[in-house]
Amino acid sequence: MKILFCTKNDIFGAVILNKILPQLKDYEVKVLLSDKTRAEENSVPELVEEKFLERDFPLSLIFPLVDAQNLTGELLTFAGCAKKFNVDISTILNINHAESEKMIRDWAPDIIISARFSLIFKSNIEKIPPLGIFNIHPGALPGYAGLCAPLRGMLQGDKQLGCTLHQVDDGIDTGPIYAVGYLTAQPEKSVFGHIAQLYELGLVNLMKLLGDISEGRKPELQVQDPAAFRYFRLPDATAFAELRARGVEPVSYEVYGDLIKQFIPADIYSSAESVLNSKKLEHATASIHAKGTAEVLAGNRVALESIF
């Protein structure tokens, strides 16, 4: 079976590949990474900080330093994943463009899997894989469709957060559901602290789906109840204020620091910890509003290059 696996060019996309690629060793796999920034991400301070932590800091600083020295940590960068698992990984800006469509048609995947991909598949792509397109959505559908579902769940005070594996149709997060996995919400871990675990739940159900298909069983899908469907856009400043009023932070810098640590060899991290500890990471993130992302990255690059 040929699987086109689509994820995001960010730290969670890298985590997702680290978790799923070892499980897909018996399949032929190609990976596409989306590279998309929504205009709203530059209008709310918390979203600017989220972009810095999830994309700018790892992709522009940590991953290049690790790759330049041909290093490997507990988790691999995108380049590390490509090398270890012998998988083609490329970045794409428009999945529905004629050139993208030709590339996908020429490669002829049996199934397309989307997990944190950010780009919407149109009918020209949906019709290519004979087994369809399936999406891993980090929210329990139909009640948490759209963006930032974990944050929305925590805003509602949910005791459990869900992750849905569903088939893609012409809508957004509206397709029939294969399975929903749940984990216990832990507000002290921040919203950020739940995201990787939610996607892991989706990957568990993905392997069950692929098992069904491989063994000739038709996947059982449940049509969503349109009356229960709720779609959320990116949160605004009010949403973040309400989140903090509940005692929940968007990001725990201890959790973030622990994640960054996993991409760096232990012997190097012991020297780099003075730059990458939670206090320094929080200070660097806060500084981007006054100094700008480029200057903050440059300052940290000088400090880390001497260590790497």
- Going by pLDDT thresholds of 50, 70 and 90, the confidence category of residue 43 is confident
CA 63 and chain centroid, separation:
16
**Comparing 33-42, 206-215, 278-287, which segment has the lowest mean pLDDT?**
33-42
Q: What is the pLDDT of residue 167?
A: 98
Query: What is the rounded CA–CA span in Å between residue 123 and residue 126?
Result: 5
pLDDT tens, 154-198? 999 999 999 999 999 999 999 999 999 999 999 999 999 999 999
Residues in the chain: 308
Query: For residue 150, is the peptide bond before it cis, meaning its omega torsion is within 30 degrees of 0?
Result: no
Give the confidence band of 8 by pLDDT, cuts at 50, 70, 90. very high
Mean pLDDT of all residues in 65-83: 95
- Which of these, 183, 182, 178, 184, lies nearest to 208 by C-alpha position? 178
Taking only the tens place, the pLDDT of each residue in 258-291 is 999 999 999 999 999 999 999 999 999 999 999 9
Interacting residues of 69 by C-beta distance below 8 A, sequence separation 6+: 308
Q: What does the pLDDT read at residue 41? A: 82
Q: Which two tokens stand for residue 244?
A: 């903090």
Q: What is the percentage of the chain residues whose pLDDT exceeds 70? A: 100
User: Does the pLDDT of residue 45 top 90, yes or no?
Assistant: yes
Does 2-305 carry CATH code 3.40.50.12230? Answer: yes
**pTM tops 0.85:** yes
Q: Which of 193, 172, 175 is nearest to 184 (CA)?
A: 193
Domain-wise residue ranges, the chain: 2-305
| Res 37 pLDDT > 90 | no
Contact (Cβ atoms closer than 8 angstroms) between residue 71 and residue 79: no
In this prediction, residue 39 has a pLDDT band, given cuts at 50, 70 and 90, of confident
Residue 141 and residue 123 in contact, taking contact as beta carbons nearer than 8 Å: no
Instruction: Please give the average per-residue pLDDT across 124-129, as a whole number.
Output: 95
Locus of tokens 């919203």: 191
